[in-house]
Amino acid sequence: MKNQETPLVAIIMGSDSDLKVMQESAKVMEEFGIPYEMDVISAHRTPQRAMEFSSSAHTRGIKVIIAAAGLAAHLAGTLAANTPLPVIGIPIAGGNMNGIDSLYSTVMMPPGIPVATVAINGAKNAGLLAIQILSLSDPSLQEKIIAYKKKMGDEVKAKSDKLRDIGYKAYLE
Ligand code: RP5
């Protein structure tokens, strides 16, 4: 957490080798002004710490957990097993299977323990999904999401106009 407010989102990764990808989730928090914390916790290398973190996160005011790991990626599922909070899982690319291993390990949760899994290295979407979850109880945040989507739409429209400018017939005039 860069500011001193109580964090609402915890961004957890299995190793500091995941940090470059995970900075995309942090950027989304900064863009929407959401206080967050960021840490390295490994389901396999620090199982006790994973248990302590996940069983107490909701008592500290955390509302959403984002969990990223590569290879046999059990971090998101392990955290989800010990928390009442929504967990968003990010499979990280790496190793011989380049993220397919972590995708399946993260997404294929047994009934009863959901992990909202985004794309391989999908840290930006994980951040946005966390914001959308928080916005359910925060109308001003929801307004920001609506403005964010409108801006994206305007950018696509500008790209469409560019094709028209260079002579292609448009889908809609
Ligand atoms: C996973 O193993 C981590 O999330 C990382 O993606 C991968 C490799 O970790 P390091 O060997 O780079 O620490 O647990």
The answer, yes or no, to whether any atom of ligand 1 lies below 6 A from the CB of 120, is no
Ligand 1 atom at minimum distance from 16 CA:
13
The whole-angstrom separation of Cα 79 and Cα 52 is 9
The whole-angstrom separation of Cα 115 and Cα 80 is 7
Average pLDDT per consecutive 10 residues, the chain (173 residues; last block may be shorter): 81 98 98 98 98 98 98 98 98 97 98 98 98 98 98 96 92 72
The whole-angstrom separation of Cα 38 and Cα 4 is 13
Distance 155 CA to ligand 1 centre (A): 36
120, two tokens: 């391989």
The whole-angstrom separation of Cα 35 and Cα 139 is 17
**Per-residue model confidence (pLDDT) at position 171:** 82
**Per-residue model confidence (pLDDT) at position 170:** 83
Taking a C-beta distance cutoff of 8 angstroms, is the pair 81, 112 a contact?
Answer: no
Ligand 1 atom at minimum distance from 102 CA:
6
Taking a C-beta distance cutoff of 8 angstroms, is the pair 87, 80 a contact?
Answer: yes
**Per-residue model confidence (pLDDT) at position 1:** 47
The whole-angstrom separation of Cα 156 and Cα 162 is 10
